[in-house]
Chains A and B, each alone.
Chain A
Amino acid sequence: MDTKTLLTEAKARFNHNSAKAQLKDKYDSKFIVADQNGLWRANLETINFLNSSKDKEVILIDNFNNPVKVDRKLLLTKLHDTYTIAMEEWYNEWTELETNR
């Protein structure tokens, strides 16, 4: 029996909240970046801070609560790229999910 028939016969309802929670779970890990001996999350706060600074090197607290001195531009590029790609994928899947409503 294929899954479509199975769902029809079981009279199953699509659970939008579970799908949304699962998507968030899935994409949470895609924002994690290991770089320059630190573990980072590509979020707006970190990206904006790196973007606003003019220094070549900055010291940030990483996900492990360690202060890490990093090359600002290198980390900014990596976090920005990670953020953009992950958000794009998340948005596309979210849009697809919305059509299932």
Chain B
Amino acid sequence: MSKGVLLFAFNSPKYNYYDMAVATAKRINHFLGLPVTLVTDEHSQPNNPTYQFDKIVIAKADKSNRRDWGIWINKGRYRAYELSPYDETILLDTDYMVNSDRLLKLFDMPTDFCCHDTTSFLMHPTAAQEMLSVYSFKTLWATVVMFKKTNRAKQIFECLEMVQNNFDHYANIHGFISSTFRNDYALTLATRIANGHTAPIEDVIPWNLVHVGKNTSVYKNTDTEFNTEYTVLFDNWTKGKIRKEYTTIKDTDFHVMNKDIFMELIA
């Protein structure tokens, strides 16, 4: 059984996702010992690449999605099933900071598909879990997805394509804003549809996805390439004043929502 990690990286005018993917791939090789396949487009690839991916798949970038900071090329994730060369794949966001071998446990799980349904924010332990809307489901997260080449996993990704193509319709039904396509929302709906409108417990990774959220900065404690110790600084707003608080973490994987912070960490 071949195992590996799949990353999608399409450069936007603001962020170099290819560089993020290279940094993440190096950490995957180091901490997980797994090969990494990159899905990207010709425009994102540098002329003289310094890192050799296990495989590079060229795909067309869908530039129809926007966020507050500009074009966000996140569509087409449903192709992960078809494009992964591995029997067992971890599909990872490029801004996921691997600091341990924890993700290897996913391959041992007695399931063919799983992702996170619960998050925890560094320095913000009481943050509420995200819902599609107040009338809808708890959000699943597309940041880390493990899948095996089975019919059920294939159906989930086929549903993901259908939800992406009809995102406005599902937004209307579930009461969320459709102006920005989100893989998390599409995945939440796709897994439910593929599972007969149920939410099997087997589809859930049994630990929390750690986020670096708003008002939070992360700094490396050492300048080594595979640093695993960080200082997390948080602006705690209380009674109209900011109180700076910090903690330190080590050997903990985390997802950096702010791309500028991620770029600084990999610099």
B207 close to chain A: CB less than 8 A: yes
- Give every chain A residue within 8 A of B243 (Cβ-Cβ): 13
B201 close to chain A: CB less than 8 A: yes
A29 close to chain B: CB less than 8 A: yes
B246 close to chain A: CB less than 8 A: yes
A18-B219 in contact given A25-B210, A26-B251 (Cβ < 8 Å): no
Cβ-defined partner of A38 (8 Å) among B110, B208, B233, B251: B110
* Chain B residue with the shortest CB-CB distance to A28: B207
A22 close to chain B: CB less than 8 A: yes
The segment out of B62-70, B101-109, B257-265 that lies at the interface is B101-109
Within 8 A of A (CB), among B99-149: 102, 105, 108-111, 120, 122-125
B246 touches A13 (CB 8 A): yes
A95 to chain B, nearest CB (A): 14
B245 close to chain A: CB less than 8 A: yes
A18, A34, A63: which has the most chain B beta carbons within 10 Å?
A18
Q: How many A-B residue pairs have CB under 8 A?
A: 87
Total interface residues in chain A, CB < 8 Å = 29
- Give every chain A residue within 8 A of B195 (Cβ-Cβ): none
Complex: A17 Cα to B120 Cα, angstroms: 14
A19 touches B247 (CB 8 A): yes
* Chain A residue with the shortest CB-CB distance to B122: A22
- Give every chain B residue within 8 A of A29 (Cβ-Cβ): 102, 105, 206-208
B265 to chain A, nearest CB (A): 12
A52 close to chain B: CB less than 8 A: no
Within 8 A of A (CB), among B46-71: none
B150 to chain A, nearest CB (A): 16
Complex: A12 Cα to B248 Cα, angstroms: 12
Please encode chain B, from 185 to 206, with 1 for each CB lying within 8 Å of some chain A CB and 0 for all others: 0000000000000000110001
Cβ-defined partner of B123 (8 Å) among A6, A18, A26, A64: A18
B224 to chain A, nearest CB (A): 14
- Give every chain B residue within 8 A of A14 (Cβ-Cβ): 245-247
Please encode chain A, from 1 to 36, with 1 for each CB lying within 8 Å of some chain B CB and 0 for all others: 001001100111111011101100110110010100
A15 touches B109 (CB 8 A): no
B201 to chain A, nearest CB (A): 5
- Give every chain B residue within 8 A of A11 (Cβ-Cβ): 244
- Give every chain A residue within 8 A of B244 (Cβ-Cβ): 10-13
B221 close to chain A: CB less than 8 A: yes
* Chain B residue with the shortest CB-CB distance to A32: B206
The chain A residues found within 8 Å of chain B, CB to CB, are 3, 6-7, 10-15, 17-19, 21-22, 25-26, 28-29, 32, 34, 37-39, 41, 63-65, 93, 100
Report 24 cross-chain contacts, Cβ distance below 8 Å, ordered by A residue. A3-B219, A3-B221, A6-B233, A10-B244, A12-B233, A12-B245, A14-B247, A15-B123, A15-B236, A17-B125, A18-B125, A21-B120, A22-B210, A22-B247, A22-B249, A25-B208, A26-B252, A29-B208, A34-B108, A34-B110, A37-B110, A39-B206, A41-B206, A100-B248
